[in-house]
Amino acid sequence: MGIERARRESWIKDIRRLAGMHPVIVELFGELRIDNNVKIGINKDTIRGVFYEKYMESFSKANVSRVIQEIRSIKSGKERLLIEKGQRYLLLGMQR
């Protein structure tokens, strides 16, 4: 039990750090809430795999469209809606 809790807390810190490093993460995952009651639209392993392992070291320089393209490969309907919402946020941000 203690190991699982430590793992979860470590994961939450990773996501918070990513969100802080690149504002697009916050926009892309608009429905993702990190708090004591972690609510998340996309599987935590997916986020860790796509963002943490591949882009953590140089995330601020990562090509955002490439990241979105990788996320788009996720098949679930709920996740797809979340991605489409994220793309709309991204387009709005680019037009400003």
- Does the reported pTM lie above 0.75? no
Q: What tokens appear for 20 in the block? A: 């802080």
What is the per-residue pLDDT across 30-77, written as a single tens digit (0 to 9) for each?
444 444 444 444 444 445 444 544 444 444 444 555 555 555 554 344
What's the domain range around 75? 2-95
The domain tally of the chain equals 1
Give the integer Cα–Cα distance in Å for 9 and 6. Answer: 5
Q: Name the average pLDDT for the chain.
A: 50
Which class for 73: exposed (0-12), middle (13-18), buried (19 or more C-beta within 10 A)? Answer: exposed
Q: Residue 90 — pLDDT band, cuts 50, 70, 90?
A: very low
Please name the amino acid found at residue 20. G
Which class for 57: exposed (0-12), middle (13-18), buried (19 or more C-beta within 10 A)? Answer: exposed
Q: What tokens appear for 96 in the block? A: 């400003």
